[in-house]
């Protein structure tokens, strides 16, 4: 459903960004929910410009649901030119409401009651221009029996998961060691389809049990694309690892996807089917968080941009796994080539982010890419020791799936506003709330601690926040009763972000002294004792402290503010930390 508008934007090579009038998310309370206070009329810069895009989880009661121009539900509605509401109802079925106001007067409140169902409805509101010239809208409110989700500054709005879990491990369903030990598949010949199903079901229960035991709400099943198509039960020969079948890989991928749905419902752990591409040690690994099917990926395929394009060809998107490691990613220009690259593991397995990795990430953000932070535990049900590529793969050994979600293991928190029971979920759902959050950059990477944070009331997101001359306020929350305690430090980076819509300082060049002095500034703040006890802190980001937010500066020949990004790292005692995806802030061009 989301891909209807997403494909249009990707084809145009555009990034989705709301321009002005972005509302603060509502608190978790009954009553009307503001969609936007109104978007002032502004000049269109691109065809079919999307000028507002935000997701809401709305609990609908007996009074149904309407969109009105005020909180009382009586004021008229007008959009220049079109409002679209994409809906996923509590039973998982989709619906779309569209109203175009081209050459039309304002209307009475819009009744969405026939499109929604009682219970929690997932609604994406999109406002776009369709005629050209100017865009804008009146204030918009959801009215009826509604309850807003927790705000991004509240811990309840963030859900814990892992983007990098291998239920089949370094092998296939035909020869998995755990399944052989349980006599679910034969020891000396490939398993039948029925036996493969039994194997997949057993492995998925191992994953869900570990996730539940360690407090995870969801996982991405990053199954090894090549291994699913290879039969190599013991120490594989070169011939065995070259004997790859894309048909077999697709069959096993579909088996896992189907059974992940039933196991997810039974365990109440969201198990979303994905795929990791790349196996030879000389290339990096790319993970599809969504694709519309299995992406063929042979064992000798070493083309990183090929991985990205193959996933995109399957309507998919994803992120880079374990960059700056032995299987390091090399195609950094791929982020500029394909908007389907949405994220990068900042934490992988039991390692914390290195300076080299953070420098690379900062450079991508400075150059104008929008790259979210995720954490992937990279756990396997079975593994092959010494594996740095298929050519050196050893015999199978029992893996480390029990480490999933344990302390010091990478994880990801996504802002979903809270997750509902999984009665209607499927592993393949494109607009699952976790997938939506990952796609839109609403994530925090961590090796354990859970934090919540908001800038001007908004979660980290690929949607830009409007420039504010008086600065911005960052709010961070944590659980004072957790085993991690209170943060010891908060590190905030504010840097220029090369958005072609806005001017950039002439002297800004990454890794030059001017970039550090004028174009990027990092500050480390120690929360006060009172804040540590209260479980939250508020920090003002002003142009006096962060030059990237200033409209006048020695690094610029005219008065303007460039686009900027804000990154937040929160450290705790004993090596624990959490790193947010970036916030993005619009600039102001010179008058």
49-91 pLDDT, tens digit each: 999 988 888 888 878 899 999 988 889 999 999 999 999 998 8
Token representation of residue 233: 């039960």
Q: Which residue has the tokens 């624990």?
A: 576
Separation CA 405–CA 211 (nearest Å):
6
Among residues 126, 134, 132, the alpha carbon closest in space to that of 50 is found at 126
Name the pLDDT band for 13 (thresholds 50, 70, 90).
Answer: very low
Question: Token pair of 472, please?
Answer: 């911005």
Q: Would you give the end-to-end CA distance of the chain in angstroms?
A: 40
Q: What is the pLDDT of residue 390?
A: 58
Going across the sheet that includes 140-144, the strands are 33-36, 140-144, 65-68, 110-111
The pLDDT of residue 23 is 33
- What pLDDT score does 506 carry? 67
Q: How far apart are the C-alpha atoms of 33 and 491, rounded to whole Å?
A: 33
Separation between Cα atoms, residue 520 and residue 517, nearest integer Å:
7
Provide mean pLDDT across the span 391-405: 86
Q: What is the pLDDT of residue 421?
A: 65
Relative orientation angle of helices 193-213 and 246-267, to the nearest 10 degrees: 40
Is 490 in a helix, a strand, or coil?
strand
Do 36 and 44 form a contact (C-beta atoms < 8 A)? no
Mean pLDDT for 405-411 is: 97
Residue 591 — pLDDT band, cuts 50, 70, 90? very low
Kindly tell me if the per-residue pLDDT of 3 is higher than 70. Answer: no
Tell me what the pLDDT averaged over the chain comes to.
Answer: 88
DSSP code of 519? I
CA-to-CA distance for 584 and 565, rounded, in angstroms?
4
pTM, to two decimals = 0.78
What share of residues in the chain are helix, strand, coil (percent, to 5)? 20, 30, 50
**Interval 525-542 mean pLDDT:** 96
Q: In residues, how long is the chain?
A: 591
What is the pLDDT, as a whole number, of residue 11? 26
Confidence at 215, pLDDT banded by 50, 70, 90? very high
Residue 187 vs residue 276, higher pLDDT: 276
**CATH topology for 449-585?**
Immunoglobulin-like (2.60.40)
- Domain boundary assignment for the chain: 3-144, 160-443, 449-585
Q: Which residue has the higher pLDDT, 409 or 146?
A: 409
Sheet holding 134-137, edge to edge: 39-43, 134-137, 79-80
Answer positive or negative: Cα dihedral of 389, 390, 395, 400.
positive
User: Facing residues of 99 across strands?
Assistant: 83
Residue 197 burial (CB < 10 Å; 0-12/13-18/19+)?
middle
Burial label for 183, CB within 10 Å (0-12, 13-18, 19+), is exposed
CA–CA separation, 282 and 378 (whole Å) = 19
Cis peptide before 81 (omega within 30 of 0): yes
Confidence tier at 555 by pLDDT (50, 70, 90):
low
Instruction: Give the tokens for residue 187.
Output: 């020891």
Confidence of residue 417 (pLDDT cuts 50, 70, 90): confident
Per mean pLDDT, which range of 116-125, 151-160, 200-209, 490-499 is the poorest?
116-125
- Number of helices (H), then strands (E), belonging to the chain: the values are 12, 31
Tens-place pLDDT, residues 22-43: 333 333 335 788 899 888 888 9
CA dist 429 and 435 (Å) reads 8
Q: Residue 168: is its pLDDT beyond 80?
A: yes
Contact (Cβ atoms closer than 8 angstroms) between residue 324 and residue 354: yes
Q: Is the pLDDT reported for residue 414 higher than 70? A: yes
pLDDT value at residue 62? 78
DSSP-derived pairing of the beta strands 218-224 and 270-277: parallel
Please give the average per-residue pLDDT across 493-513, as a whole number.
Answer: 78
pLDDT band at 401 (very low <50, low <70, confident <90, very high): very high
Q: Which CATH superfamily is domain 160-443 in?
A: Metal-dependent hydrolases (3.20.20.140)
pLDDT at 572 over 60: yes
Res. 545: pLDDT tops 50: yes
| pLDDT tens-place string over residues 432-479 | 999 999 999 999 999 999 999 999 999 999 999 999 999 999 999 999
Q: Note the pLDDT tens digit of each residue in 291-309.
A: 999 999 998 888 999 999 9
d(CA 228, CA 209): 23
More confident site: 236 or 496: 496
pLDDT at residue 24 in the model: 33
Which residue matches tokens 């002032």? 40
Return the higher-pLDDT residue of 19 and 322: 322
What pLDDT band is residue 17 in, cutting at 50, 70 and 90? very low
Residue 335 confidence class, pLDDT cut points 50, 70, 90 = very high
- Nearest alpha carbon to residue 137 among 85, 78, 54: 78
For the chain, percent of residues with pLDDT exceeding 90 = 67
């Amino acid at each position: 459903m989301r891909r209807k508008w997403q494909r249009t934007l990707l084809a145009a090579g555009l990034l989705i960004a709301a321009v002005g009038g972005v509302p603060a998310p509502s608190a978790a309370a009954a009553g009307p929910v503001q969609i936007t206070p109104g978007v002032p009329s502004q000049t269109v810069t691109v065809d079919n410009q999307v000028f507002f895009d935000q997701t809401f989880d709305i609990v609908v009661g007996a009074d149904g649901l309407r969109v009105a121009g005020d909180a009382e539900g009586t004021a008229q509605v007008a959009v220049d030119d079109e409002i679209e509401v994409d809906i996923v109802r509590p039973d998982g079925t989709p619906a779309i409401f569209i109203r175009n106001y081209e050459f039309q007067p304002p209307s009475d409140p819009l009744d969405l009651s026939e499109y929604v169902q009682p219970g929690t409805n997932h609604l994406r509101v999109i406002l776009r221009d369709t005629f050209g010239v100017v865009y804008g809208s009146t204030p918009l409110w959801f009215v009826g029996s509604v309850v807003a989700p927790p705000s991004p500054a509240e811990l309840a709005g963030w859900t814990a998961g892992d983007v990098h879990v291998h239920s089949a491990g370094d092998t296939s369903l035909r020869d998995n060691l755990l399944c052989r030990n349980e006599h679910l598949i034969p020891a000396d010949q490939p398993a039948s389809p029925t036996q493969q199903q039994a194997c997949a079901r057993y492995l998925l229960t191992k994953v869900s049990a570990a996730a539940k035991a360690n407090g995870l709400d969801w996982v991405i099943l990053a199954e090894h694309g090549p291994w699913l198509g290879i039969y190599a039960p013991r120490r594989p020969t070169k011939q065995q690892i070259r004997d790859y079948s894309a048909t077999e890989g697709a069959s096993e991928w579909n088996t896992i996807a189907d059974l992940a749905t039933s196991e997810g419902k039974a365990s109440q752990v969201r198990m979303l089917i994905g795929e990791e591409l790349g196996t030879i040690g000389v290339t990096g690994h790319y993970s599809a968080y969504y694709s519309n099917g299995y992406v063929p990926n042979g064992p000798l395929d070493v083309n990183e941009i090929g991985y990205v394009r193959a996933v995109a060809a399957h309507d998919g998107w994803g992120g880079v796994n374990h960059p700056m490691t032995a299987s390091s990613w090399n195609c950094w220009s791929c982020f500029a080539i394909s908007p389907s690259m949405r994220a990068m593991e900042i934490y992988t397995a039991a390692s914390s982010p290195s300076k080299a990795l953070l420098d690379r990430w900062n450079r991508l953000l400075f150059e104008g890419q929008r790259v979210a932070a995720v954490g992937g535990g990279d756990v396997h049900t079975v593994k092959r020791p010494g594996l740095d590529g298929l050519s050196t793969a050893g015999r199978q050994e029992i893996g480390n799936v029990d480490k999933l979600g344990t302390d010091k293991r990478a994880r990801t928190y996504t802002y979903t506003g809270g997750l509902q029971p999984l009665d209607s979920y499927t592993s393949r759902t494109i607009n699952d709330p976790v997938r939506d959050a990952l796609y839109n950059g609403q994530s925090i990477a961590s090796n354990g601690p859970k934090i919540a944070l908001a800038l001007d009331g908004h979660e980290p997101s690929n949607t830009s926040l409007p420039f504010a001359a008086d600065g911005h306020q960052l709010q961070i929350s944590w659980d004072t009763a957790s085993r991690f305690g209170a943060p010891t430090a908060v590190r905030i980076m504010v840097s220029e972000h090369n958005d072609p819509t806005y001017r950039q300082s002439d002297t800004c060049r990454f890794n030059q002294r001017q970039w550090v002095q004028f174009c990027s500034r990092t500050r480390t703040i120690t929360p006060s004792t009172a804040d540590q006890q209260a479980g939250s802190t508020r920090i003002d980001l002003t142009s006096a402290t962060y030059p990237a937010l200033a409209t006048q500066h020695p690094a610029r020949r005219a008065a303007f503010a460039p686009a900027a990004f804000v990154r937040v790292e929160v450290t705790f005692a004993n090596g624990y930390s959490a790193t947010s995806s970036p916030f993005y802030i619009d600039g102001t061009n010179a008058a």
